[in-house]
Amino acid sequence: MSKKKIATVWLGGCSGCHMSLLDIDERILDVAKLADIVKCPIVDGKELPEVDIVLVEGSVTSDEHLREILHIREQAKALVALGDCAVTSNITGMRNYFDLKEVFDTAYINAVSNDKEGSVPGHPELLKLRDKVVPLQEVVKVDFVIPGCPPDADTIFYVLFEFLNDRIPNLSEVKKLRYG
Amino acid sequence: MTKISVTIDDKKLDVDVGKTILEVCKENGIEILTMCHLKGLTNTGACRLCLVEIEGVNKLLSACTTKITANMIIRTKTEKIKRYQLITSELFFAERNHVCSVCVANGKCDLQKLGYKTEMDHIRYPYLFPQCEVDTSHPWYVLDHNRCIMCTRCVRACSEVEGAYNWNVMNRGYQVRIISDFDTPWGESVTCTSCGKCVHACPTGAIWPKAIVQGQLEKKPEIIAELMEKRKMNL
């Protein structure tokens, strides 16, 4: 059996899910026996190559995220939404209660720490925030979801290990379904 | 007491007459999902989670408000019911802000448990993001409309157990809200006795005491039934 290729991506999230992924500790060796990690935020990877499994943390908050997730969908056989932000938009989505302008003004102009001298950054190189934050399944087909904020390391390892052994994981069956 | 025969999930049972399907199921260890039901309060059939199939009836009926009658053949765990229960819990989560990770009730919430029981891993419906207020005007308690699922357990606990009639319901559909008195801040209420029964009756993080931090919320909804039982004994 040839080794599988896996990748992890960090979109609009806090990286907590990746921290939780690192918490699988020495079990990363079991993963490494079955797969090569070809891209993740702590590996230097420019473009996502074709992979068997990709874990995507965070929701789609900007034009760049949208481009990235559409590309990921083309490159990955199985797309796994990792964590509450990717699955439900979670805290990232709480700015949807406000207009985008109000959000920018609150952060860059009206925040107390700005001493009334702030301005909204508008450099053309910067990514552009979308009006509303959406979870992954609103823009691409998602093959599996791991809710949790963040999901337990045990849960992430369970899902990875099942996929790497060509089995479909079932979070409810193993009592690992959790939000928050 | 007169006994009648019924069949629930292919199990033949002899049960007392005059009880609801939910009561019979609970007595016989048959699990039925509920949200708006709370022992000690009247049933309203609002949450639609306890729907059951009854042979010969061409619609689903709520177990909490339907009295059991002789020879009923009831099914509580069919694929259709499970599908409806999943949809119901998804719609609860899609309506207001139910972000568990920043909720005071995280890990102690009946809505969260409902999601696990219905095996809901994501929500297929668009979120509504309604503007909801957080009323912190009461000296001890907080009412967060974002977490409210309109089960009205607080309304019934306040009127039926405490007799204060502080809580009520305003508007309909998407704009429905729990209100204190005539939609005035809870802290200014002239009817609220600050007894705290609504806090314990609330199944989510919609009503909670200020003196707690996240993950430390302990609610005792069973006190409502205990109180009602003790009052009956006094009579």
- Quick check: A122 contacting B, CB < 8 Å? no
B152 and B109 in one domain?
A: yes
Specify the pLDDT at position A14: 96
Does the beta carbon of A57 lie under 8 angstroms from any beta carbon of chain B? no
Last residue of a domain, one of B43, B76, B109: B76
* Same domain, yes or no: B185 and B128: yes
**pLDDT over threshold 80, residue B228:** yes
Q: CA B3: distance to chain centroid?
A: 29
Q: What distance in Å separates the CA atoms of residue B216 and residue B208, rounded to the nearest whole number?
A: 11
Based on the structure, what is the number of domains in chain B? 2
Using only C-alpha atoms, what is the Rg of chain B? 19
Answer yes or no: do B128 and B207 share one domain: yes
Q: What is the pLDDT of residue A1?
A: 64
Is residue B89 domain-shared with residue B30, that is, in the same domain? no
Q: Confirm whether A49 is domain-assigned.
A: yes
Residues 6+ apart with CB under 8 A from B194: B138, B139, B140, B141
The residue out of B76, B100, B117 marking a domain boundary is B76
Please, which residues have CB within 8 angstroms of residue B120's CB and are 6 or more apart in sequence? B86, B89, B90, B93
Q: Is residue A12 part of a domain?
A: yes
| Domain tally, chain A | 1
pLDDT score, position B1 = 73
Domain coverage including residue B172:
84-234
**Measured between alpha carbons, how far is residue B226 from residues A18, B40, B100 in Å?**
46, 8, 30
Give me the tens of pLDDT residue by residue for chain A, a chain 180 residues long.
Answer: 689 999 999 999 999 999 999 999 999 999 999 999 999 998 776 789 999 999 999 999 999 999 999 999 999 999 999 999 999 999 999 999 999 999 999 999 998 888 778 899 989 999 999 999 999 999 999 999 999 999 999 999 999 999 999 999 999 999 999 998
Residues 6 or more apart in contact with residue B227 via CB below 8 angstroms: B40, B161
Domain shared by B43 and B88, yes or no: no
Same domain membership, residue B59 and residue B141? no
Whether residue A155 is contained in a domain is answered as yes
B119 and A177: CB-CB below 8 Å?
yes
Specify the CATH number for the domain of residue A41: 3.40.50.700
* B165, B230: one domain: yes
Instruction: Compute the distance between CA of residue B24 and CA of residue B36 in angstroms, rounded to an integer.
Output: 18
Please tell me the distance from the alpha carbon of residue B183 to that of residue B155, in angstroms, as a whole number. 14
**Residue B99 to residue A90, Cβ atoms within 8 A:** yes
CB contact under 8 A, B129 and A96: yes
Contact partners, residue A34, CB within 8 Å, separation at least 6: A3, A4, A164, A165
The confidence score (pLDDT) of residue A116 equals 75
ipTM confidence = 0.91
In whole angstroms, give the CA distance from residue B208 to residue B210: 6
- A contact test, residue of B106, B122, B133, B204 with most A CBs within 10 A: B122
Pairwise CA distance, residues B31 & A78, whole Å: 36
Residues B25 and B117 reside in one and the same domain: no
Backbone angles phi, psi at A163, to 5 degrees: -60, -40
Peptide bond into A150 cis (omega under 30): yes
Q: Hey, what are B218's tokens? A: 């302990």
Give the separation between CA B86 and CA B124, rounded to whole angstroms: 10
Residue B137 and residue B214 share a domain: yes
CATH code assigned at B134: 3.30.70.20
Closest Cβ opposite residue B112 in set A93, A138, A179: A179
| Residue B101 and residue B27 share a domain | no
B154-179 pLDDT tens trace: 999 999 999 999 999 999 988 999 99
- Look at residue A22 and give its three-state secondary structure: helix
Numbered residues of chain B with Cβ closer than 8 Å to any chain A Cβ: 93, 97, 99-103, 106-107, 112, 115-116, 119, 121-124, 126-127, 129, 131
Question: Inter-chain contact B106–A91, Cβ cutoff 8 Å?
Answer: no
Pair (B131, B204) in one structural domain: yes
Contact B6, B68 (CB under 8 A): yes
Enclosing domain of residue A43: 4-96+130-164
**Does one domain contain both B101 and B205?**
yes
